[in-house]
Amino acid sequence: MSRSIPSHNRRCLLYDQGLLPYLDALEWQRSLFQERIKDPNLDDVLILLEHPPVYTLGQGATPEFLKFDLDNHTYDVYRVERGGEVTYHCPGQLVGYPILNLHSYQKDLHWYLRQLEEVLIRALAVYGLVGERISGFTGVWVEGRKVAAIGIKVSRWITMHGFALNVCPDMTGFERIVPCGIADKPVASLANWIPGISCEQVRHTLAQSFAQVFDVELIRTVRKKP
């Protein structure tokens, strides 16, 4: 695996947001992303949050992996600029949106995806779980069940979107889709192995794992009201 460029204690602003509607988070991400396209010297960002129930489709995703009609307005469904197929977000799933300037790390998308997987694998290890990669796929599995999905966008080597780790969500929402377009590999959450685990417990662990893997100094920051 390629080594990253030394960060020299690069700062990364950490926003720990709790529950935030998907479109609010998307607008916020896009704003931070565009600011860094214009000025690549701005600090990197990691947003950690949860979303109310929502389905999202990657830019090249096909609706065939939805098990309901798109005209069914019971569910919120959005097509966004990330890669990948359909996924589901809901409370109990910890979502991370890193907005990084890869010029300071490694200008290699394969490398970046593997680093995001490594963040998740290290966080799982803290709880005694062995996270695994599966060749040909992106994400992290435990005992053959997918616990974390990854979908990113990169432009001018600035990243947005990111990863979603199933901690303790209501998993019934996944029954309405073929998660990530993978029909033969089930999804699971950390609660399957650690009953009672919460996102609140995992937030700090995940943030510290991110800081270690990307070799950054996390600066806890409060979002300014629009």
What does the alpha-carbon distance between residue 152 and residue 141 come to, in Å, rounded to a whole number? 18
Out of 90, 168, 180, 199, the active site residue is 180
Q: Residue 180 domain-assigned?
A: yes
Q: What is the dihedral of CA 97, 103, 105, 111, to 10 degrees?
A: 70
Q: Residue 2 domain-assigned?
A: no
Per-residue confidence (pLDDT) for residue 225, from 0 to 100: 65
Q: Residue 4 domain-assigned?
A: no
Q: Which residues are annotated as a binding site?
A: 82-89, 149-151, 162-164
180 is catalytic: yes
What does the alpha-carbon distance between residue 44 and residue 226 come to, in Å, rounded to a whole number? 20
Q: Which residues are annotated as a binding site for substrate?
A: 82-89, 149-151, 162-164
CATH of the domain at 157: 3.30.930.10
Q: Residue 191 domain-assigned?
A: yes
Per-residue confidence (pLDDT) for residue 197, from 0 to 100: 97
Report the DSSP pairing between strands 87-89 and 11-19.
unpaired
Count Cα atoms within 13 angstroms, Cβ side, for 2.
13
What's the number of domains the chain is made of?
A: 1
Q: Residue 3 domain-assigned?
A: no
Query: pLDDT tens digits, the chain, 226 residues: what are they?
Result: 334 444 456 899 999 999 999 999 999 999 999 999 999 999 999 999 999 999 998 888 777 777 777 676 678 888 888 887 788 999 999 999 999 999 999 999 999 999 999 999 999 999 999 999 999 999 999 999 999 999 999 999 999 999 999 999 999 998 887 655 555 678 999 999 999 999 999 999 999 999 999 999 999 998 876 5
Q: Residue 184 domain-assigned?
A: yes
Task: Give pTM, 2 decimals.
Answer: 0.92
DSSP state of 144: T
Per-residue confidence (pLDDT) for residue 62, from 0 to 100: 76
Q: Note down the domain range covering 60.
A: 11-220
Q: Residue 140 domain-assigned?
A: yes
Q: Residue 6 domain-assigned?
A: no
